[in-house]
Homo-oligomer: A and B are copies of this chain.
Amino acid sequence: MAVYTDVSDAELETFLAEYDIGDADALKGVAEGVENSNYLLTTSRGQYFLTLYEKRVDPKDLPFFLGLMDHLSARGINCPKPIHGRDGNAVRMLAGRPAAITTFLHGLSPRRIAVRHCGPVGAALAELHLAGRNFTMVRPNALSVAGWRPLFDGSRAKADDVARGLARELEGELDVLEARWPKALPTGVIHADLFNDNVFFLHDKLSGLIDFYFACNDALAYDVAICFNAWCFEPDRSFNTTKARALLQAYEKVRPLEAAEREALPLLARGAALRFLLTRLYDWIHTPANALVKRKDPLEYLTYLRFHRNASSLADYGL
């Protein structure tokens, strides 16, 4: 949670003059997201979301992210819809940062994930995959299998301080995953970060998906595998088959998986667990314990990784 860049009333007025959404009635920095500065903007026309992109987002990726949100919302996906200025642009500078306004989505993220959330998430993910099919821009997944070893190299020397034997175990994982990672699965645009804080519910119905700043092109089934990790483990780190079944069945009602995708899911889930383990490990090692950003325990994902490693087919998940 953070607001890194301050926006003055005068800067905001100049910025908003480029748009047709009325004058600012209020601007509140929101404690949401660790990558960007986010503001809730109220104008005479309603509520909007204002994002200033901080240094972890490459400005070259913004046309992809905002173009994707345009594309998806035009196809009925409830995601933030970029507001374009009178010049047609959705991104312009504000307080020295590239910035964009989007619509404001209603809903609350579920804090405790229940089975009833998992079906709607599976269905929304499949709808996202279908809606993204004819999106023409491309952004490779920097955090897929090819990116994991360089990421690990940045943490290797201190990995064993986090857990004894961790460096060696991850080394072995990388060897296996690099050798066996599937290359011929159906690909498309994936969300790549569909955790519970990026999904809104309203009156027990899924009301929106947010945070497309990891979206990229990759195997669609890899997104399902990420959701297995994000939605189907309990706080005690046990795997909840009922949740996974609800998620997968709802996904397949919208977009049935091919046989190769179903077969690959345990390995993809193992890779997804490693991906989040590696970024968390990197942040754990490189973020001071008393820093503004709260560090997330990387070892949670070691438990998940080992669980997936022991599964050789969906039957081993009870699916």
Give per-residue flags for A1-31: 1 if the beta carbon is below 8 A from chain B beta carbons, else 0.
1110010111010000000000111111111
Query: In the complex, which residues of chain B have a beta carbon less than 8 angstroms from the beta carbon of A40?
Result: 28, 30, 40
A179 at the interface (CB under 8 A from B): no
A112 at the interface (CB under 8 A from B): yes
* Interface residue range, chain A: 35 or more
Copies of the protein in its oligomer = 2
Contact of A26 among B2, B28, B106 (CB under 8 A): B106
Q: Is the CB of B3 within 8 A of A108?
A: no
Report Cα–Cα, A184/B203, bound state, in Å. Answer: 58
Query: In the complex, which residues of chain B have a beta carbon less than 8 angstroms from the beta carbon of A241?
Result: none
Query: In the complex, which residues of chain B have a beta carbon less than 8 angstroms from the beta carbon of A291?
Result: 290
Q: Which 7 A-B pairs have the closest CB atoms?
A: A8-B111, A29-B31, A25-B106, A9-B108, A3-B31, A28-B30, A31-B31
Give per-residue flags for A93-129: 1 if the beta carbon is below 8 A from chain B beta carbons, else 0.
0000000000011111111100000000000000000
Interface residues of A in 7-61 (CB under 8 A from B): 8-10, 12, 23-32, 40, 42, 47
Query: In the complex, which residues of chain B have a beta carbon less than 8 angstroms from the beta carbon of A32?
Result: 28-29
